[in-house]
Amino acid sequence: MTAGMATDLTIRRAVLGDRDHLTDLCMRSKKSNGYDEAFMAQCAEELRVRDSWITDDHIWLAETDDGKAVGCIRLCIAADGMTGEVGTCFVDPHWKGKQVGRMLFAPLLDEAGSRGLTRIGLDSDPFAEAFYARMGFTTIGRSPSGSIAGRTLPRMELILDAGPLQGREHS
């Protein structure tokens, strides 16, 4: 593996058998931002990967050669068929900073482009806002947390013009 890069990973669509491993990954990733047990307990239900996320949405995972999931991302298509939402995006704490998140965005943006989506939105954890900004998202406001009353999250969006990545490399 090249220093700082996740070159030995496979990106694939998640299957139902991945659900519990992905939930564990989401929890470990979130906790690595310094959140305490009480905070994590409040987020547990929101972070629990559901079967419908795998069967109805588009969810990909990055895995090592030995089959360990080290990242995941989920695209939800809105009923209008023109917009999408990044519903889940997490990277294993030991793999942060190694381009896993960037790699996961490639199939998501390809899917968005093939469906003709014009915009992708997301509610960002404050610790991930800079990463999403590097991916081209702009903060457009605040959204209420789905888990913690009174907490708001950065609301971000990416405008898709003539397809994903509009001249940017997604590697």
For residue 137, pLDDT over 80 is answered with yes
CATH of the domain at 69: 3.40.630.30
Average pLDDT over residues 41-68: 95
Q: Is the dihedral of CA 18, 24, 69, 74 positive or negative?
A: positive
Is the residue at 92 inside a domain? yes
Share of the chain above pLDDT 70, in %: 90
Is the residue at 4 inside a domain? no
Q: Is 76 helix (H, G, I), strand (E, B) or coil?
A: strand
CA angle 137, 125, 61 (to 5 degrees): 75
Among candidate residues 90, 102, 32, the one with its CA nearest the CA of residue 59: 90
State the residue range of the domain holding 103. Answer: 10-159
Is the residue at 166 inside a domain? no
Is the residue at 165 inside a domain? no
Is the residue at 137 inside a domain? yes
Is the residue at 170 inside a domain? no
Say if residues 27 and 42 touch (Cβ distance below 8 Å).
no
Is the residue at 44 inside a domain? yes
Instruction: Give the pLDDT of residue 168.
Output: 40
Q: How far apart are the C-alpha atoms of 43 and 136, rounded to whole Å?
A: 27
Number of folded domains in the chain? 1
* Alpha-carbon separation of residue 95 from 15, 86, 99, 103, 116 (angstroms): 22, 20, 8, 12, 31
Instruction: Give the pLDDT of residue 6.
Output: 60
Over residues 105-131, the pLDDT tens digits come to 999 999 999 999 999 999 999 999 999
Q: How far apart are the C-alpha atoms of 143 and 69, rounded to whole Å?
A: 29
pLDDT band for position 85 (50/70/90)? very high
pTM of the model: 0.87
Instruction: Give the pLDDT of residue 82.
Output: 93
Is the residue at 106 inside a domain? yes
Over residues 139-165, the pLDDT tens digits come to 999 999 888 888 999 999 999 974 444
